[in-house]
């Protein structure tokens, strides 16, 4: 169904912000959806938009107050592409509550039928739609954004009448966590624009020059491009229905940017769009930065990845930096035993910490060379137990090395991070805030 590029999903008042105050004759519901996409097709954001548009048309008085896009733990065993789940806060008249549930059940039933060829036991698709009249404990969200959550953990707190699924219900974790997320005043926003069905799989038409102008003209949007490689970041490179996603500081900022893009020559026209409040750039997946002392010199592995061990509060910690980490990887490789450093990273299932930011606090002195004398001639020793001597003038001095304590810290002064195209959705850029201590 063609929607002519308009947002039919959620309501906002004339201030541009959602009105979350309830109506006396209405009931509020929280709806969550996850695990509907496949690596080769589909997109949970588009499926969720289909659901909300259906409810808008089918349930009298239905109002969507806010959409949310929630990224979860990057190492989750059954993570989806982008590892994001969707939720929405909606209101319906009290006499439409059952109709709302019935339409949600029918939607999932139709979705499961359309995916039945892919819903085998080992399938990566396991759709679940959660609907609840109350919000879930925010600790469910933090558990899912900071570590592995088992289905049984969620099933113990979510009653079966509150969700719809097929035989497999892995999507219950993400859908419930998306409902449990509680945003704050610093939450970011993302507008997602979707393509016409007949264009899905074809080249996206969003010229690089337009993205460069977007970056200059719309300062309240961010992560539109990676200037280090002159690459746009708003359009995915997968065969999914998304045309682009614009991230920014407010609902108004991303919507204004979208309208501007759609007016530019050479840009593919979006069929529809919606704005989501998100936990992206929140650093919710980590607890803060840690500090320690380098125990061993860095080890470089195949693929230019690097690792070393540090000691922190009597515990040995393994730090890993990947080639894609850019300055993080470069700084790690320059570290030496005795350097005192701070880091921000995500503990992986093998207990190593995958670095996201790195800082050299206090370098140990780097040995550079023997002292020099006449005309910068390096002084030499005649052998063990012998002093240093200048071959030109004969000056002698006690044997020692000249060290440089500023080595490495001069180029990497303060925190470093990967380039924009290599950061996680959840990672907070240094331009937004410096890391906070654990």
CATH of the domain at 314: 2.40.50.1010
Position 392 in a domain = yes
Say whether both 301 and 381 belong to one domain: no
Q: 398: which residues sit within 8 A by CB, 6+ positions away? A: 387, 388
Looking at the domain assignment, is residue 14 inside a domain?
no
> Does 266 share its domain with 163?
no
* pLDDT, mean of each 10-residue run, the chain (438 residues): 37 43 82 83 90 97 98 87 90 96 95 76 76 94 95 84 82 94 92 96 95 96 92 91 97 98 98 98 94 95 89 96 93 93 95 96 82 85 86 86 65 86 93 82
What number of CA atoms fall less than 13 Å from residue 167's CA on the CB side? Answer: 9
In a domain, 36, yes or no: yes
Claim to verify: residue 61 and residue 159 sit in the same structural domain: yes
**What confidence score (pLDDT) does residue 426 get?**
94
Task: CATH number of the domain at 242, please.
Answer: 3.90.600
Encoded tokens for 301: 């592995």
Given a contact cutoff of 8 angstroms between Cβ atoms, the answer to whether 59 and 35 are in contact is no
Tell whether 345 and 374 lie within a shared domain.
no
Does 92 lie in the same domain as 162?
A: yes
Residues 200 and 226 in one domain: yes
> What CATH number should be reported for the domain holding residue 94?
3.30.70.2200
Same domain, 308 and 233: no
Tell me if 141 sits within 8 A of 154, measured CB to CB: no
Domain count, the chain: 4
Q: What is the pLDDT of residue 15?
A: 33
Place of tokens 């209405």: 26
CB 191 within 8 A of CB 255: yes
Alpha-carbon span 272 to 53, nearest angstrom: 11
34 and 173 housed in the same domain: yes
Same domain, 248 and 176: no
Q: Are residues 174 and 33 in the same domain?
A: yes
Domain of 380, in residue numbers: 366-404
The count of other CB atoms within 10 Å of the CB of residue 197 is 12
Q: Are residues 116 and 157 in the same domain?
A: yes
Residue 152 CB: number of other CB atoms within 10 A? 7
> Among 149, 172, 26, 176, which residue's Cα sits nearest to residue 77?
149
pLDDT at site 160? 67
Q: Which structure tokens are listed for 280?
A: 């992206």
User: 297 and 389: one domain?
Assistant: no
Q: Assess if residue 434 is contained within a domain.
A: no
**End-of-domain residue from the set 164, 180, 196:** 180
């Amino acid at each position: 169904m063609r929607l002519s590029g308009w947002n039919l999903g959620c309501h906002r008042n004339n201030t541009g912000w959602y009105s979350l105050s309830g109506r006396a004759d209405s009931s509020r519901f929280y709806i969550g959806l996850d695990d509907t996409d496949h690596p080769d097709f589909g997109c949970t954001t588009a499926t969720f938009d289909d659901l909300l548009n259906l409810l808008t048309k089918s349930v009298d008085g239905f109002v969507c107050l806010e959409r949310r896009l929630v990224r979860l733990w990057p190492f989750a065993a059954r993570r989806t592409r982008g590892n994001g789940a969707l939720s929405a806060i909606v209101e319906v008249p009290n006499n439409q509550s059952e109709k709302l549930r019935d339409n949600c059940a029918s939607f999932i039933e139709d979705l499961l039928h359309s995916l039945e060829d892919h819903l085998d036991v080992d399938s990566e698709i396991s759709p679940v739609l959660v609907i609840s009249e109350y919000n879930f404990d925010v600790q469910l969200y933090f558990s899912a954004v900071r570590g592995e959550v088992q289905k049984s953990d969620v099933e113990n707190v979510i009653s079966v009448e509150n969700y719809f699924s097929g035989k497999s219900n892995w999507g219950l974790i993400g859908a419930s966590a998306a409902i449990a997320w509680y945003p704050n005043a610093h939450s970011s926003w993302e507008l997602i624009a979707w393509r016409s069905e007949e264009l899905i799989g074809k080249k996206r038409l969003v010229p690089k020059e337009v993205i460069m102008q977007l970056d200059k003209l719309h300062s309240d949007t961010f992560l539109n491009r990676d200037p280090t490689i002159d690459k746009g970041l708003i359009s995915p490179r997968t065969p999914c229905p998304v045309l682009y996603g614009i991230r920014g500081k407010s609902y108004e900022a991303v919507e204004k940017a979208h309208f501007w893009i759609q007016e530019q020559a050479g840009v593919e026209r979006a069929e529809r769009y919606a704005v989501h409040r998100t936990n992206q750039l929140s650093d919710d997946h980590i607890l803060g930065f840690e500090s320690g002392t380098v125990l061993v010199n860095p080890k470089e592995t195949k693929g230019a990845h690097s690792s070393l061990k540090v000691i922190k509060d009597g515990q040995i910690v393994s730090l890993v930096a990947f080639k894609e980490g850019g300055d993080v990887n470069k700084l790690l490789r320059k570290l030496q035993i005795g350097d005192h450093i701070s880091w921000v990273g995500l503990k992986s299932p093998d207990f190593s910490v995958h670095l996201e930011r790195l800082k050299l606090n206090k370098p140990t002195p780097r040995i550079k060379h023997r002292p020099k004398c006449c005309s910068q001639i390096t002084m030499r020793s005649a052998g063990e137990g012998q002093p240093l001597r200048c071959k030109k003038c004969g000056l002698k001095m006690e044997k020692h090395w000249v060290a440089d304590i500023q080595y490495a810290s001069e180029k990497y002064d303060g925190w470093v991070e990967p380039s924009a195209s290599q950061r996680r959705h959840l990672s907070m850029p240094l331009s937004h805030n410096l890391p906070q201590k654990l």
